[in-house]
Amino acid sequence: MHTKTDKFEVFTKDDLEQKWKIFLTRLEDRPNLQSTLSNVPELKDNSKLYLEIDNSIQEDVIHSIKPELVSYLRKELQNSNIELIIKVSEEIKNRIIYTDNDKFDEMAKKNPSLKKLKQKFNLDFGEV
């Protein structure tokens, strides 16, 4: 049963992306959380948002803010059916990182500027 306050406006991926980015600006004092939420979720079935993350630690952090985030999106996008579904990436979950280069490559995937920084300053992983 729907009440008068329930809204079911259809929104686009662009609408979602715009509101998502605005929400991220609220998290400037929490850079780790801001980074975790830097990828806009995939929109399916007009109201289900699928957010793929790298690990269970990120999942725990997102759960701490999820009610606020979902409430914000429902209000801003005028759709009370919005659900945020969090999924830990299977690819990363099963991959074991052994070397410094592997660690760097994983970090560079999340922040491509690291490669530029490494090249600019001619950085390398030397032997200790």
Range of weakest confidence among 27-31, 58-62, 123-127 = 123-127
Rounded average pLDDT over 18-35: 93
- Report helix angle 56-76 to 13-25, nearest 10: 110
Q: How far apart are CA 7 and CA 92, in angstroms?
A: 37
Stronger pLDDT, 13 or 46, i.e. the higher one = 13
* Domain ranges, ordered by start, for the chain: 13-88, 96-123
How are strands ordered across the β-sheet holding 83-88?
42-44, 48-53, 83-88
pLDDT of 1: 42
Output the pTM of the full model.
0.67
| 62-111 pLDDT, tens digit each | 999 999 999 999 999 999 999 999 998 876 555 666 678 778 888 888 88
